[in-house]
Amino acid sequence: MMNDSLEDYLRFAQIERGLSNNTLLSYRQDLLEYFSFLKSLGITTWEVDALIIDSFFAQERDKGKAIASISRMLSSLRKFYQWLFRQNLIKQDPLLRIDSPKKEKRLPTAMSTTEVTKLINMPDTTTDLGIRDRAILETLYATGMRVSEVINLNEDSIHEELHLIKVFGKGSKQRLIPISNVAMSWIKKYQITVRNKTLLESGKFEKAIFLNSRGGKITRQAVWQMIKRYCQLAGINKNVTPHTLRHTFATHLLENGADLRIVQEILGHSDISTTQIYTNLTQKHIMDVYKRTHPRI
């Protein structure tokens, strides 16, 4: 019965809430770990008290789980228990008495302009692979899109004359974001010289713009590995991921005077407090410039 209600909830989350496959996978992993914990205690119902919930998270902390991971698991359980309560599968919600852990205040990593330029210039653009990789890197840095958004772009997503891209972000929320002339030119070059040839040779019909060598949609893992490889070749020692380029995009816009609300809109953040973390990075930049340039420091 417990397993049935868990699967019912995940179907509800996918259909009614429009969650992405990656988010659903995270929910499933979190809830199965909690389910396994209950079974280890011999508990055969979701109807538990707050002490059981506390014991579960104490175990997670003992395993060395990061606060961010525990917060995510707590969020997964809150939503699940809210659903159980609405479905009259439990009499009371034990999560109402559980406080969220205090978040670690960690600033995202951002690259310097020099580092970004070195990374973007690394692909060998005399090759098909290099042209594709250059187009992906230009797009990530020019738009601040999540890697999942970039790999899901298709030809209908791009409004070339308006220099806008239609993006479907978290929860299938749609937004229009600008793209630079430089990034647009590399996308067009890739489409004309590489993508069309790849589709013709593979005999596949794929809507996604960015493809692998077999004519299928490129994966998040492939983009992650590509960035790691070029960073190593460029001698960039930072832990750079596709999301680092998103952080860098936002930081560089704010450093150059962009309005916080505009950056929020472009990134697709529903809450401006999520965007405000980048102001800490720009304040650090201001202090660095001040210390470097003032004659009486």
Between these two residues, 257 and 52, which has the higher pLDDT value?
52
pLDDT for 41-83, tens place per residue?
999 999 999 899 999 988 988 888 888 888 889 999 999 999 9
Whether residues 39 and 122 share a domain: the answer is no
Whether residues 276 and 162 share a domain: the answer is yes
Domain assignment of residue 102, yes or no? no
Q: Where in the sequence is the domain holding 58, given as residue range(s)?
A: 2-97
Active site residue 278: yes
Active site residue 163: no
- Res 282 pLDDT > 80: no
Whether residues 38 and 133 share a domain: the answer is no
Q: Are 278 and 255 in contact (CB under 8 A)?
A: no
Determine which one of 146, 195, 247, 252 is catalytic. Answer: 146
- Res 107 pLDDT > 90: no
What percent of the chain lies above the pLDDT cut of 70? 91
Determine which one of 28, 118, 243, 285 is catalytic. Answer: 243
Burial 109-144 (b: 16+ CB within 10 A, else e): ebbeeebbebbbebbebeebeebbbbbbbbbbbbbb
Average pLDDT of the residues of the chain: 88
- Res 158 pLDDT > 60: yes
Active site residue 220: no
Whether residues 70 and 186 share a domain: the answer is no
Whether residues 171 and 220 share a domain: the answer is yes
pLDDT of residue 102: 60
Determine which one of 134, 195, 246, 252 is catalytic. Answer: 246
Whether residues 63 and 142 share a domain: the answer is no
Domain assignment of residue 104, yes or no? no
Q: How many helices (H) and strands (E) does the chain have?
A: 14, 3
Domain assignment of residue 74, yes or no? yes
- Among candidate residues 36, 62, 97, the one where a domain is terminated: 97
Report helix, strand or coil for 75: helix
pLDDT of residue 3: 86
pLDDT of residue 297: 60
User: Mean pLDDT throughout 78-91?
Assistant: 93
User: Mean pLDDT throughout 238-246?
Assistant: 92
pLDDT for 179-211, tens place per residue?
999 999 999 999 999 999 999 898 888 999 999
User: What CATH number is attached to the domain comprising 269?
Assistant: 1.10.443.10
Domain assignment of residue 196, yes or no? yes
User: Mean pLDDT throughout 268-280?
Assistant: 80
User: What CATH number is attached to the domain comprising 77?
Assistant: 1.10.150.130
Give residue 203's Cα distance to chain centre: 31
CA atoms 284, 285, 286, 290: torsion sign: positive
- Among candidate residues 97, 132, 152, the one where a domain is terminated: 97
Between these two residues, 257 and 285, which has the higher pLDDT value?
257
pLDDT of residue 111: 93
User: Mean pLDDT throughout 86-93?
Assistant: 93
Whether residues 160 and 251 share a domain: the answer is yes
Domain assignment of residue 231, yes or no? yes
Active site residue 11: no
Give dist(CA 68, CA 272) in Å, integer: 19
Whether residues 70 and 211 share a domain: the answer is no
Residue type, 162: L
- Among candidate residues 43, 68, 97, the one where a domain is terminated: 97
Domain assignment of residue 105, yes or no? no
**How many domains is the chain partitioned into structurally?**
2
Active site residue 197: no
What percent of the chain lies above the pLDDT cut of 90? 57
DSSP codes joined into one string, 9-63: HHHHHHHTS---HHHHHHHHHHHHHHHHHHHHTT--SS---HHHHHHHHHHHHHT
pLDDT of residue 134: 98
Domain assignment of residue 106, yes or no? no
pLDDT of residue 252: 92
Give residue 97's Cα distance to chain centre: 30
Determine which one of 170, 175, 220, 285 is catalytic. Answer: 170
Active site residue 252: no
